[in-house]
Structure 1
Amino acid sequence: EGEADEALARAALREVGLEGFEARDVQTLSGGERQRVAIATLLTQSPRLFLLDEPSNHLDLHFQIAMLDLFRQRANAGCGVVMVLHDVNLAARYADHVILLDGRGGVKAGSRDEILCESWLSAAFGHRLRRFECDGKVIFLPD
């Protein structure tokens, strides 16, 4: 662990909004702060492919958007980003391609616009969802 490694770690912490947390004991961190430390750890490795299971878990809304924006930037820069999301509105905002699992063995796969539709989402979630557009963004709300 030399100076270059420390610089990478500090840059990653800064990127996830944890600048100044370098000396904090992990036991004193909130669940959201721990999640951002985990994301920072990934960033230090500079992967070309991110495999993420609920990267917005434990994060408040501000950091959910900030972290998913960060992964969108990585995707735009040519990295692969594969993530599991249970929040259909985050998927509608960030995903290019979607694999929708319905919990009963059913699978739908395709572009975001093909898969994220009222009928398939309602069937998958077992509750009717309605699609709305607001300021050019698609949102889904339970009926």
Structure 2
Amino acid sequence: MIGCQELNYSTGGKRILDRVSASAPSGAITALVGPNGAGKSTLLAMLGRMLVPDSGMIRLGGENAAALARAAFARRVTTLRQATRITPRLTVRDLVGFGRYPHNPGHLTAADRKIVDACLQDLALSDLAERHLDTLSGGQQQRALIAMALAQETEVLLLDEPLNNLDLTHARRVMQILAQRSRSGRTVVTVLHDLTIAARFADHVIAVKDGQVLNEGAPATVFTPEVLSQLYDAQVEVHLIDGKPVILPI
């Protein structure tokens, strides 16, 4: 489990997070949803210790995350942010191999290479493994970054809009892989803008608006017309198909 208590954060004279308390359960996918500028990416970055809150606490399991050494934290939590910079002349295999760095800095073992191969296969990248990153499409680069994050094999996986640039087939594949990881006991927290995908795959939802948690709970309790209309300041319809919500703006 990873979560936070009473997080506050301001930058440029603007309050971005205001007394945010929330938690992502173990063995589940938690979707962070809300309008643009709500504070979702900032919250995810703080959970991954990429940003330092003005006040409040991040908890990893029962521990204060700030008290953990950075190397120890990196072996337990992976964060993939938006617009992650990559070196163009790296190969896909090299990039995915970087995911093993917290465990074996500078030298991949046979076990590491096996994990890299498995992640390449999971993301349908095996045929592209020796290609340089600057020869790939945006969607292929995004899948390579996700494969790198998966290769780290941490107990917590934090992903900021991982479905950017992905077509329908690969978006579904990524969410299925994340669901598999969560069923094996890992904690997955991901920012998602497609609410129907969030409703299909998430076990837990945190709805953020204006730097505060508006609602938190199971998809059935968050993905209602009343909550979503308040969240997005727009009328929203929710229809059930095979027991899963499909969300449509009116």
Establish whether TM, by shorter chain, passes 0.5: yes
Per the normalisation by structure 2, the TM-score is: 0.54
CA distance in 2, matches of 1:44, 1:20: 17
Pairing 1:1-143 to 2, within 5 Å after superposition: 1-103=108-210, 105=212, 107-143=214-250
* Deviation at residue 126 of structure 1 after TM alignment: 2.1
Give CA-to-partner distance per residue, 1:112-137, whole Å, 9 cap, x none: 11111111111212221101122332
Structure 1 runs (4+) deviating above 4 angstroms are none
The SS at the match of 1:20 is helix
Per the normalisation by structure 1, the TM-score is: 0.91
The SS at the match of 1:83 is strand
Pick 1 or 2: higher relative contact order, CA cutoff 8 A, min separation 6. 2
Q: Is the 8 A contact 2:237 2:248 kept in 1?
A: yes
**One-letter amino acid of the structure 1 residue matched with residue 126 of structure 2:** E
More helix by share: 1
**Larger radius of gyration between Structure 1 and Structure 2:** 2
CA 1:99 to 1:21, structure 2 compared with 1: closer, same or farther past 3 Å? same
CA 1:13 to 1:2, structure 2 compared with 1: closer, same or farther past 3 Å? same
CA distance in 2, matches of 1:2, 1:95: 34
**One-letter amino acid of the structure 2 residue matched with residue 17 of structure 1:** A
CA distance in 1, matches of 2:206, 2:213: 10
Give CA-to-partner distance per residue, 1:65-100, whole Å, 9 cap, x none: 110010011111110011111111111111111111
CA distance in 1, matches of 2:206, 2:195: 12
* Deviation at residue 4 of structure 1 after TM alignment: 3.9
> What stretches of structure 1 of length at least 5 have no aligned partner?
none
Give CA-to-partner distance per residue, 1:10-65, whole Å, 9 cap, x none: 22111101111111010011111111101111122111111111111110011111
CA distance in 2, matches of 1:106, 1:75: 23
Work out the number of aligned pairs and report it. Answer: 143
> % of aligned pairs identical?
36
The SS at the match of 2:237 is strand
CA distance in 2, matches of 1:133, 1:2: 48
Q: Is the 8 A contact 1:102 1:123 kept in 2?
A: no
The SS at the match of 1:47 is coil
CA distance in 2, matches of 1:126, 1:138: 19
Q: CA RMSD in A?
A: 1.6
> What stretches of structure 2 of length at least 5 have no aligned partner?
1-107
